[in-house]
Structure 1
Amino acid sequence: MTDYGQELAFGTFLTPDAARPDDVVELALLTEAAGLDLATFQDHPYQSRFLDAWALAATVLARTTTLRVTTNVTNLPLRPPFVLAKTVASLDRLSRGRVELGLGAGAFWEAIEAAGGPRRTGGEARAALAEGIDIIRATWDDSRRAVRVEGRHYRAAGVHPGPAPAHPVEIWIGAVGPRMLALTGQVGDGWLPSQAYVPPEALADGSARIDDAALAAGREPAAVRRLYNVNPSTDPGWAEWLAELTLTHGTSTFIMAGDDPRSIGRFGTEVAPAVRALVEAERSRTAAAEPPSAAATAATAARADEVVEVRRGRPVEPTADPGVRRSGATPWDEASRPTYVSSLRPLTWTDHERASGQHLVDIHDHLRGELARLYDLIDQVEAGTMDAGRARSLINEMTLRQNDWALGAYCQSYCRLVTTHHTIEDTSMFPHLRASDPELSPVIDRLEEEHHAIARVLDDVDRALVSVVSGVHDTAPLRASVDLLADTMTSHLSYEERELVEPLARFGYTAG
């Protein structure tokens, strides 16, 4: 088998425990905060202990900004395909394109029958799944005049299609047997097996069956995304193993099962970046070994050079503070900031160390982008093209306003969640860094002080917006408060990177 070259993605497979609804949502928020791409939930409507999967998905979508969400996988026998298509498309539009559709033919037939669904044989379930996919895709195609599918198990007799999803929603099929694998190759956008049912040594055979069916149907095998529900692991070589699955079997999306916040944090901040670096390096090496083509570009060459630099041990570079200030005020004395100087042996800056250190810079870049967006909103308020109340609402949705900016959105969400199970002192990142090297304590104390100061500056921005909402036409105080916020954030983010990129690369985000 081979690497299909698909973009890598990482996510979580969370239990929709009805006894802990707040915790389930917090785990999804942690999934996003840890830098992961996707949160998924099992769908067993007949299970009294579980929340409804799509109601949970809607709640999570409303609380997140970048996270994609899906079921893993939807129980089709208990969800009529036309209505399911409408649910998925509606959520995709409401979330601006962050929904995919995991879909299964059904199992646990006695429970399905007890809930009012049909009992089907294996062949009937496959046929029903194919018919259901036809109806779902036709419903999403609003260029049609009507949806008409006459199947043995499902039918649509001229119902109007729509709405169309905001983006091309992919249908990922949970398939195990040979005939389900063939159906996946014929009509699926992805194959979503679980490690418990399809062990790693069975991936090659499953992919081969999908490839053969895809080719027979006139499709490219690479058009079928290869996903994998994997068990969590503390093995130091886990990232290398996942990268090998990508390079050998083409697996491009890894979804970790389990509800342990520490495992989710490590998967997002350590394992996923390491897998990306390993796969990128190997793909670049392989591309460099092939004869150059006319399609090769300077950008590709630059990326290859970047990988070579990484392998030579180039350290992560903190973002320098440009020193430009818009406001004459400041909430702190920058000259009094402590500095951390490690007495330990210098880092070798392996791919893994670079990934851990780079994560902080990447999230800070997102926050810097939000500052630019904030200025754009204020410009619109001053120009009269946006209502101040709407601007306030949008600002309150930003990562920086949710107070999730400290140490990448990671720390705040992580600490808030684990306090329901453990104590902050035992599990959060700051105590972990303090324990790893007590010499970091003065820097961490100062960063925490600055977090509180920035929270007060954000409150000043909000008060200024409220004033404008209340009818005050002078926007000068609003502009001044935003200028101060930009100054403090620019200064703080650069200071935090300068002091913590190296410790995070050395010690990681959490213990264990």
Structure 2
Amino acid sequence: MPDYGHSLEFGTFITPAATDPDRVVALAVLAEQAGLDLVTFQDHPYQAGFLDTWTLLSFVAARTRNVRMSANVINLPLRPPAVLARSVASLDLLSGGRIELGLGAGAFWDAIEAMGGERLTAGQAVQALEEGIEIIRQIWDAETRGGVRVHGDFHRVSGAKRGPAPAHRVGIWLGAYKPRMLALTGRLADGWLPSLGYLKPGDLASGNAIIDEAALAAGREPRDVRRLLNLAGPSHGAEELAELALTEGISTFILAADEPDVIRVFGEEVAPAVRELVTAERSGQAAQLSDKETPKTPIKATNLGVTPTPDTGVRRSTRTPWDESTRPTGPAPDPARTYTPHEQASGRHLVEIHDHLRAELAQIHDLIDQVEAGTMDVGAARSHINTMTMRQNNWTLGTFCESYCRIVTTHHTIEDRSLFPHLKRNDPRLAPVIDRLEQEHHVIHDVLEGVDKALVALVTTDGGGTAGLRAAVDLLSDTLLSHLAYEERELVEPIARLGVQ
């Protein structure tokens, strides 16, 4: 995904261990001394071995002067949103505008229920979070007349007084992994805060795509959502983090660390190096970096660091939605053209996103094969899908296909609205290729509609209508795989040369 252009920030994720509270506070103070921007603590109110996160944040605020603080992330099911809103605003006022609000929908429901919280399904938890955000923002809106009134299914406020307003516009960052939470992030939140250890290859790209599409649909800009990332362990180098900033849009890096030396190195050495690398790339002056940071040997146009995926020519369906022989080609690459590592990564990233779509498509075919062979019923397929992905807890065969189609559509929407106009504007010779790719996007949209209709048939026949779904997905395979190969063949080099927007 593109670099969203946010300023870079760095923070630490400290374990709020109750066994040595003085050390926890000392690590937070050290983070400020090391030049870090942010100190965060996990929030598990049911964990007897942890300090209460909100009390700890208040104490750390009194012991520091500049560093900002946040829970990572607040357990909303055990903290009523109206009370939480006033707590956040109060501490923000007392600390001089240094509080942010990381929010989570909830997890570990046995423990939440043991503490008196209500057990919710995944869908209910997302709805409850959306209601909570509405209440929090209305409480903070002290200038609007009248009380706060939100009559949700899980959170209800009937005429509560507004205020106090925080000292600054507190950012609401959501810990999100699954499609509904990611869409909520795009519609309403100020930041996306996942943990790298919970993500699979391609999850940052697909998560960004869902957030961006939801933001655009809500009348917002993708840049309105800051992309944050929790990191585990001290093994992340400056080059790796710069790559994440420039190709995945990550602008806030939060390192889980309880060792003073690790925190000190992250703040005093790693963070400045990442800022230097990203600043150089953004200003187009990567060549001025030291020999250690930039390879001496230039990367030629014939070696972009990735090979476009060829079209195998295999077709599953008897239908042919377009004539591939009429596809135009773009300008031939300049063999003398050199590429920076960032330029090389931009083209490679397009292939990575496409590979994610190809892998998901292969999983759908495998599930249909097993259901048709009688070796897996729809219920077993549902269970198997749950183990294949961490982005959704209760996908069925049908909803898995629906989610995949949504990701494809989102990817194409981002291309049509941003990438394609940028490429045409900067190299008019690409116009015939771009126009053809856009035409094919419309065809693929119609094919996806056919998949939707087949899914309806699957539901109405209780899993027995897989023949129609197979035919629809076969056609999707033919069109999508052919299209992705054509797009990579024509655009990997222009994306590396012209960048993304």
Question: Normalising by the residue count of structure 1, what TM-score does the alignment of the two structures yield?
Answer: 0.56
Q: CA deviation at 1:258?
A: 2.1
Q: How does 1:118-157 map to 2 (within 5 A)?
A: 118-145=118-145, 146-157=147-158
By how many angstroms is 1:231 displaced? Answer: 1.4
| In 2, Cα distance between equivalents of 1:263 and 1:199 | 25
Counterparts of 2:233 and 2:201, CA distance in 1: 14
Aligned residue in 2 for 1:100: 100
8 Å contact 2:228–2:251 — kept in the other structure?
yes
CA-to-aligned-CA distance 1:396-432 (integer Å, 9 cap, x gap) = xxxxxxxxxxxxxxxxxxxxxxxxxxxxxxxxxxxxx
Task: Find the counterpart in structure 2 of residue 318 from structure 1.
Answer: none
Residue 234 of structure 1 and its aligned partner are, at CA, apart by 3.5
Structure 1 counterpart of 2:122, one-letter code: G
Question: Which residue in the other structure is 2:239 paired with?
Answer: 240
Per the alignment, residue 47 of structure 1 pairs with 47
Determine the structure 2 residue equivalent to 1:174.
175
Give the distance between the partners of 1:31 and 1:228, measured in 2 at CA: 17
**CA separation in 2, counterparts of 1:40 and 1:132?**
21
Instruction: Check 1:185–1:197 CA distance in 2 against 1; reply closer, same or farther (3 A cut).
Output: same
Separation in 1 of the partners of 2:110 and 2:229?
27
Residue 217 of structure 1 corresponds to which residue in structure 2?
A: 218
Partner of 1:282 in structure 2? Answer: 281
Shift of 1:178: 0.8
Match of 1:81 in 2: 81
Aligned mates of 2:206, 2:289 — CA distance in 1: 35
In the other structure, the counterpart of 2:493 is none
Aligned counterparts of 2:270 and 2:200: Cα–Cα separation in 1: 20
> In structure 1, what is the Cα distance between the partners aligned to 2:231 and 2:181?
20
In the alignment, does 2:260 pair up with 1:261?
yes
**Per-residue deviation, 1:261:** 1.1
Partner of 1:272: 271
Distance 2:182 2:157 in 1: 26
Q: Secondary structure at the match of 2:202?
A: helix
Shift of 1:311: 5.5
Name structure 2 gaps, 5 residues minimum.
293-501
Query: Which SS does the other structure have where 2:10 is aligned?
Result: strand
Counterpart CA distance in 1 for 2:288 and 2:257 is 36
In structure 2, the partner of 1:69 is: 69
Deviation at 1:260, TM superposition (A): 1.2
Q: What one-letter code is carried by the residue in structure 2 that aligns with 1:179?
A: R
- Deviation (angstroms), 1:309: 7.0
| C-alpha separation in 2, matches of 1:4 and 1:46 | 37
Unaligned runs of 5+ in 1: 286-303, 314-512
Answer with 38-47 or 256-265: which moved more.
256-265
Does the Cα contact within 8 Å between 2:234 and 2:255 map onto a contact in 1?
Answer: no
Question: Hey, what does 2:8 align to over in structure 1?
Answer: 8
2:13/2:40 contact within 8 Å kept: yes
The answer to whether the Cα contact below 8 Å between 2:131 and 2:154 also exists between their aligned partners in 1 is yes
| Secondary structure, aligned partner of 2:283 | helix
Deviation at 1:223, TM superposition (A): 0.3
SS in 1 for 2:220: coil
Question: How far apart are residue 233 of structure 1 and its match?
Answer: 2.7
Stretches (4+) displaced over 6 A: 307-310
Structure 2 residue 17 is the aligned partner of structure 1 residue 17? yes
1:165-222 Cα distance to aligned partner (Å, 9 max, x none): 0000000000011111011001010000001112453211110110011111111000
Equivalences for 1:103-118 in 2 at 5 Å? 103-118=103-118
Residue type of the partner of 2:17?
A: D
How far apart, in 2, do the equivalents of 1:167 and 1:117 lie?
Answer: 31
Corresponding residue for 1:422? Answer: none
Q: Does the alignment pair 1:250 with 2:249?
A: yes
CA distance in 1, matches of 2:48, 2:175: 23
Supply the distance in 2 between the matched residues of 1:181 and 1:200 (Cα, whole angstroms).
Answer: 17
Q: How big is the shift at 1:144?
A: 2.0
User: Structure 2 CA distance, aligned partners of 1:202 and 1:116?
Assistant: 34
Secondary structure in 1 aligned to 2:228? strand
Counterpart of 1:172 in 2: which secondary structure? strand
TM-score normalized with structure 2 length: 0.57
Percent pairwise identity: 62
Q: Which residue of 1 aligns with 2:199?
A: 198
The aligned length equals: 291
Matches within 5 A, 1:88-487: 88-145=88-145, 146-199=147-200, 201-234=202-235, 238-285=237-284
The one-letter code sitting in structure 1 at the alignment partner of 2:138 is A
Query: 3-state SS of the aligned residue for 1:10?
Result: strand
Matched residue type, 1:260: E
User: What is the CA RMSD across the aligned residues, in angstroms?
Assistant: 1.5
SS of equivalent to 2:197: coil
Distance (Å, rounded) in 1 between the aligned partners of 2:83 and 2:279: 40
